[in-house]
Amino acid sequence: MQWQNSYMKLSIIIVNHNNREVLKRALGSLQKATAGIEHEVFVVDNGSTDFSVPIIKNRFPQVTFIENEHNEGLSKASNQALKIAQGEYVLLLHPDTLTNEDTLTKTIAYMDAQTQAGGLSVRMLNGDGQFLPESRRGLPAHWALFFKMTGLYKLFPKSRLINRFHADWIEEFEATEIDVISAARLSPRAARSSPSIGVMYSSVRS
């Protein structure tokens, strides 16, 4: 799918700290996944000592680097790129994430159609191809922590009341509203420009 818009469609942000090898694979997968999409890629490096910056710069010259002398944490580093990102949508990724070739085309098309959506989380798989329950989360409450610490939530995996950390009442391939979107998420510009949710909370390091 080719977008005809003259503006930037997608900004991709990855925060890195000594993850050179997995970051290379992540950026390699993005090269195929972003075909036909007007995009920009930011890598915010948090003081890596594994020569991530020179090696990645040489291999992926189209990537924009923000270099921090120290490890500023995930939130603060993400905000550095968010403040200058130009895309209609912003995608936050961990450096060990591999993106399928059709994932971005499908998710952007879905968000374009769902104009009321504030963000989108995708179905994620681990390295063995197994579904990650972190793909859909509930909003934890105090009582939910008790059920998680005691393991009682395992007895009621489909309970909205008891199993609040992983929203297992939502089926793996079900598209629905969720309380908390995953770290690998797509958000529109309108959500980022909101004073309440435009940037990541960074008073503490994450």
- Residue 204 CB contacts under 8 Å (≥ 6 apart), including other chains: 73, 75
pTM of the model: 0.73
Instruction: Record the tokens describing residue 15, joined without a space.
Output: 């925060």
Write the DSSP symbol of residue 203. S
Phi, psi for 45 (deg, rounded to 5) = -100, 125
pLDDT of residue 132: 64
Is the pLDDT higher at 43 or at 130? 43
Write the DSSP symbol of residue 6. S
Which has the closest alpha carbon to 172: 124, 126, 127?
124
- As a CATH number, domain 10-122+182-192 is 3.90.550.10
Question: pLDDT digit string (tens) for 115-164?
Answer: 877 777 776 666 777 766 666 666 667 767 777 778 777 777 776 666 66
Give me the residue spans of the domains in the chain: 10-122+182-192, 126-170
Neighbours of 194 (CB within 10 A): 10
Is the pLDDT higher at 136 or at 203? 136
Question: pLDDT digit string (tens) for 84-106?
Answer: 999 999 999 999 989 989 989 99
Give the largest CA-CA distance in the chain.
54
SS3 (DSSP) at 28? helix
